[in-house]
């Protein structure tokens, strides 16, 4: 079983600033931190799953012509 990483508010602020180029308010950081923490927990479980026989979905978007 993979160990779940935990994200901090400080990390959320740094990612927002350095990766996305945005500044978050303290309220936004408080809202996003647990959401991102849950996402990381879910992603940490992926290596434990048997995905060998699962075909990736094919997505085709012809767009507006």
The domain total for the chain is 1
Backbone region of residue 50 per phi and psi (left: phi > 0; alpha: psi in -120 to 50; beta: other values):
beta
What is the rounded average pLDDT of the residues 41-49?
79
Sign of the alpha-carbon dihedral angle for 40, 46, 47, 49: positive
Range of the domain at 16: 9-48
27 inside domain: yes
34 inside domain: yes
Residue 16 makes CB contacts below 8 A (sequence gap 6+) with 22, 23, 24, 29
40 inside domain: yes
Least confident piece of the model among 1-5, 6-10, 18-22, 48-52: 1-5
4 inside domain: no
What is the rounded average pLDDT of the residues 15-25?
95
* CB neighbour class for 42 (10 Å; exposed up to 12, middle 13-18, buried from 19): exposed
pTM above 0.75, yes or no: no
């Amino acid at each position: 079983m993979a160990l779940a990483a935990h994200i901090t508010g400080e990390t959320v602020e740094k990612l927002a600033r350095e990766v996305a180029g945005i500044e978050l308010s303290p309220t936004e950081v408080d809202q996003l931190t647990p959401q991102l923490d849950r996402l990381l927990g879910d992603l940490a479980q992926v290596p434990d799953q048997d995905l060998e026989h699962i075909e990736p979905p094919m997505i085709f978007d012809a767009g507006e012509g």
